[in-house]
Chain A
Amino acid sequence: MHLSATVCVEAPGDISYRNVILRAVAAACKAAFASVCGREPPADEFTNHVLSAVGEAFNNIAIHCYRDRSSDIARVRVTIDSTAVHLRIEDYGRSFDPLGSGLPDLDALPESGLGIFIMRSLMDEVTYQAGCPNVLSLSKHLPDCLGVPAERAGKGAAGALLHD
């Protein structure tokens, strides 16, 4: 077993590659988790949350960052250590800070603007640094691997805002 494992996935930042990225990240998570923790990822829900967040992040890259320009690459680096999964998602398009928007009014049943909320809610830490590349960093605590308490997992980076 290793203390941490990192896998990097790179694809054109075009929406047609969304599924390719997600399948690659899912495989990377599984392999890295096995390398660090010596077994399969803890639960489908954990992986689903990570993949949902990455999917929304990739949507933003393809739809907003590379809008009106030829798409460049999107790079996803997955690192798993004994406490968390960390994702570093890079693009070279227009900066689009997911933390710059407020929370949606869910009671109004919005049809758009939900992706960032989903991403922030399902991950425990979300940071963004505009530049070349733009870097979106997402982290989610492992629920039970190596003694990490389950209550640390799944509260979501938007959780504090939601409950204010």
Chain B
Amino acid sequence: MGFRRSVRARGRRVHFFTTSANGVTTVRIEGELDAVTVSELRPFIETLADERHPRIVLELSNLRLIDSSGVGALVFLYKKAKEYGGMVTVQGLRDQPMSIFKLLHLDRVLLA
């Protein structure tokens, strides 16, 4: 598995890592993805979309909290990938993020 990018620093509330293997790009997002922290993730998400990865898995088992801003960033990636024929799925959801995904019916679209 090839390690590609990692953003993790002390004091940050959101951390994200990307690995690629067998044509699948896995993005692990940890911590809290909200109106404040989404600004750290957004450029990373936009780069991922520009690179047109064919299959992206968002691994969210260590995501503790998400709000509408965070959801917006993930939906943006899903839509961009769909435009170029790629696929984005989510795995590992639990607790508060799972309840938000269910509320917004995103579990039907994005859950692997």
Contact A111 B79 (CB under 8 A): yes
Instruction: Please choose the segment from A15-23, A128-136, A144-152 that sits at the chain B interface, where 4 or more of its residues have CB less than 8 A away.
Output: A15-23
Contact A59 B69 (CB under 8 A): yes
Q: How far is the CB of A100 from chain B (nearest CB, A)?
A: 17
* CA distance in complex: A49, B97 (Å): 11
**Given A48-B99, A59-B68, A109-B109, A15–B36 Cβ distance below 8 Å?**
yes
Interface size, chain A (Cβ < 8 Å): 27
Contact A62 B105 (CB under 8 A): no
A115 interface contact, C-beta 8 A? yes
Contact of A59 among B35, B95, B106, B109 (CB under 8 A): B35
Contact A109 B34 (CB under 8 A): no
* CA distance in complex: A71, B11 (Å): 25
Contact A114 B104 (CB under 8 A): yes
Contact B76 A62 (CB under 8 A): no
Contact of A63 among B35, B72, B96 (CB under 8 A): B35
Determine the residue in chain B with the shortest Cβ distance to A162: B103
Question: What A residues does B67 contact at CB under 8 A?
Answer: 52, 55-56, 59, 115, 118
Contact A121 B103 (CB under 8 A): yes
A110 interface contact, C-beta 8 A? yes
Contact A52 B105 (CB under 8 A): no
Q: Chain B 60-75 against A: per-residue CB contact (8 Å), 1 yes, 0 no?
A: 0000010111011101
Question: What A residues does B13 contact at CB under 8 A?
Answer: 19
Point out which of A49, A52, A117 has the most chain B C-beta atoms below 10 A from its C-beta: A52
Interface positions of A (Cβ within 8 A of B): 15-16, 18-19, 44-45, 48-49, 51-52, 55-56, 59, 62-63, 106-107, 109-112, 114-115, 117-118, 121-122
Interface positions of B (Cβ within 8 A of A): 13, 32, 34-36, 65, 67-69, 71-73, 75-76, 78-79, 95-96, 99-100, 103-106, 109
A/B interface sample: 22 pairs, CB < 8 A? A18-B34, A18-B35, A19-B13, A19-B32, A44-B95, A48-B99, A52-B96, A52-B99, A55-B35, A56-B68, A59-B34, A59-B35, A106-B104, A107-B105, A111-B75, A111-B79, A114-B71, A114-B72, A114-B104, A118-B100, A121-B103, A122-B103
